[in-house]
Structure 1
Amino acid sequence: MNAPEQTEDKSDACAASRDGLSASFQASFFAMCRLGSFPWHDLERSLQDASSADVLSDILQKTVHHPLCKNNPPSVKYRRLFLSELIKRHEASAAEPLDDVYDALAAVLGAEEEPVCHKSYLLPSGDFVTVSESVAVISEGTTGLVTWEAALHLAEWALENLGAFSGRSVLELGSGAGLAGLVVCRACSPRRYTFSDCHPSVLQRLHGNVRLNGLAPRRDPCPGPAVSVEELDWEAVTSERLQEFEADTVIASDVVYDPDIVCCLVQLLSKILQCPPQGRCPDVYVASTVRNPETYGLFKSELSKAAIRHQAIPGPERQVFPYNRTTTIEILKLYS
């Protein structure tokens, strides 16, 4: 290989490395991941090995300057902390200053914080799923206005198990902000999808997130699933009402967190698993982050008392979305 070819190959390798780095920053930025989880060491090495202006420009174009950030931005505080850390790492490298990054920080310093932010997750297709959620973990008396890890885990599992959703009618219990269902609707080709919850603010947020992702509820024969958002009171709902959903698949994520609602949840699942006349029972999957082993053990115990068999199934093999994987997340398949 002659010298020009070697130079060209090295240039291509640097460009590929830079693209991979900026893509990693983009995925973490729009999902509002902890800043400590960003590949800062890779950035520092890249600033030493390549043009710092090119590296930072690529990252800015895929984060704060990306059209998605203009339309559906992460929180003001998060963008401010992100840009401050980016400047800190850049200055530590003794590279030439880049006015663009300072201008970006100046713009966000003057912005007013809002109670709602956006988190966006990149699908394998290259499209984003965006969720509007509360900045605070607990807001308006509920934890259902934010996205939890089990929803992301279940969404990744769905991407690897399309047969559980494709062409099927899907009912989701406790949809919360709606991330898992949005991914299923956008990538798994269900025939019908029903988001459900009972808290008024959560239902309002669900309606908004469905519209935000181009899945406005409709019942016409347009391409894509027929989508609806339904109020579902676990205590009051009847077996007849549940059968009206004609669900082939039922999913839920992070609904096992409070011992006071475990019995109510199990009673609901028992109704769902009552096979309709001349029909088949739906496939039921419940994804849970095991924060409190006693609460999770109670859930399994109550399932057994209700004669509901359960089996832990393998989780997703491929990491698609950036989220904390240090906690135990388990998916149970339930049987009547």
Structure 2
Amino acid sequence: MEGGGGGGEDDIVCLDESFFIDDNYQLTTFIFGSQVIELLCLHSASTDFDLTGQLVWPGAMLLNDYLSNNAVLLQGCTVLELGSGVGITGILCSRFCSKVVLTDHNDEVLKIVKKNIDLHASSEKSNFCSELVAEKLEWGNSDQICHILQTYTNGFDLILGADIYIHNCFQQSSICLLFNTVEKLLQARRNGQCKFILAYVSRTKTMDSLVISEAARCGMQINEVVGTRSVVGNLEGVIFEVTLKKQHE
């Protein structure tokens, strides 16, 4: 480095988020049952900026395998996905659903999910649902939650999520915000039949218990779907169904 003086404020280097961004996406093929999906994604993580949504995580593979084997759950449904990342689950759902809303909190991640929506809209129109859109949604953000609820006034049949806590593991506040958001989305369905399907991959015992306790704190019942516990990416994964407790009373 030049000017090796005694240092000071002029020597401080400030980096914005663009320094960390890797947008060298690769077109990648995924197969779930009879469904073949091609989309753009990264094959390895960016640096330490919060861009985990650029990857396809094991939980998404678990969820997509489950949905492809139980496509009857999706037929004609309206679906909202939390933490959609590159959009692999939403794109699979679009083969069966009437409406799919993909959400993420990160602007850079929303760029790639929109590219993947456009990619599939142009190449597979015959397989596409009537409406597939991306929306910004940060858990606990009242304005963004209200925008979703006001835009989609009839609510949703299903809320989906896969590995959506991965970027903030160990943060209890984040899991609290997640289930507070899910609670509002579940309540929006006037017939009370909406449920949250969560593909959960176990990484710490602390997180395992936290997910269960936070769901209960928000007045929800969380049940493991029988037969879905399996090993994904050398980790144990399972599908949970989450509903408002009042549906069971």
Per the normalisation by structure 2, the TM-score is: 0.75
Of structures 1 and 2, the larger Rg is shown by 1
Q: Which residue of 2 aligns with 1:207?
A: 114
> Which residue of structure 1 lines up, in the alignment, with residue 184 of structure 2?
271
Determine the C-alpha separation between the residues in 1 that align with 2:50 and 2:242. Answer: 30
After superposition, the Cα gap between the structure-2 partners of 1:301 and 1:124, relative to the gap in structure 1 and judged at 3 Å, is: closer
The alignment-based identity, stated in percent, is 19
| CA–CA distance in structure 2, aligned partners of residues 315 and 215 of structure 1 | 37
2:137 is matched with which residue: 232, 239, 242?
232
Aligned residue type for 1:290: S
Report the CA distance between 1:276 and its aligned residue. 4.6
Does structure 2 conserve the Cα–Cα contact (< 8 Å) formed by 1:175 and 1:195? Answer: yes
Could you say what secondary structure the match of 1:171 adopts? strand
> Retained in 1: the 8 A contact 2:175–2:211?
yes
Structure 1 residue aligned with 2:234, among 322, 326, 331?
Answer: 326
Tell me what 2:67 maps to.
Answer: 158
Structure-1 separation of matches of 2:117 and 2:193? 27
Could you tell me which of 194, 197, 208 is aligned with 2:104?
197
Aligned equivalents of 1:308 and 1:195: distance in 2?
23
Give how far 1:194 is off.
0.6
Partner amino acid for 1:227?
A: L
The 1:274–1:123 alpha-carbon spacing in structure 2 relative to 1, beyond 3 Å, is: closer
Task: List per-residue Cα deviations over 1:18-45 (Å, max 9, x = no partner).
Answer: xxxxxxxxxxxxxxxxxxxxxxxxxxxx
Q: Residue 134 and residue 326 in structure 1: after superposition, are their counterparts in 2 closer, same or farther (change >3 A)? A: closer
Q: Which has the higher contact order (CA 8 A, sep 6+)?
A: 2
Give 1:108-147 correspondences, 5 Å limit.
115-125=24-34, 128-139=36-47, 140-147=49-56
Question: Would the aligned equivalents of 2:32 and 2:64 in 1 still touch at CA under 8 Å?
Answer: no
C-alpha distance in 1 between matches for 2:40 and 2:137? 21
Contact kept in structure 2, 1:157 and 1:315, CA below 8 Å: no
Which has the larger share of helix?
A: 1
Gaps of 5+ in 1: 1-113
> SS at the partner of 2:142?
coil
Preserved CA contact (<8 Å) 2:77 2:158: yes
User: 1:43-62 alignment to 2 at 5 Å?
Assistant: none
Residue in 1 aligned with 2:92?
Answer: 183
Unaligned runs of 5+ residues in structure 2 are 1-22, 245-249
Per-residue deviation at 1:115?
2.8
**Shift in CA distance, 315/181, structure 1 to aligned 2, threshold 3 Å:** farther
Code of the residue aligned with 1:200 in structure 2: it is D
Q: How far 1:307 sits from its partner (Å)?
A: 1.6
Aligned residues: CA RMSD: 2.8
Q: Which has the higher strand share?
A: 2
Q: Provide the TM-score with structure 1 as the length reference.
A: 0.57
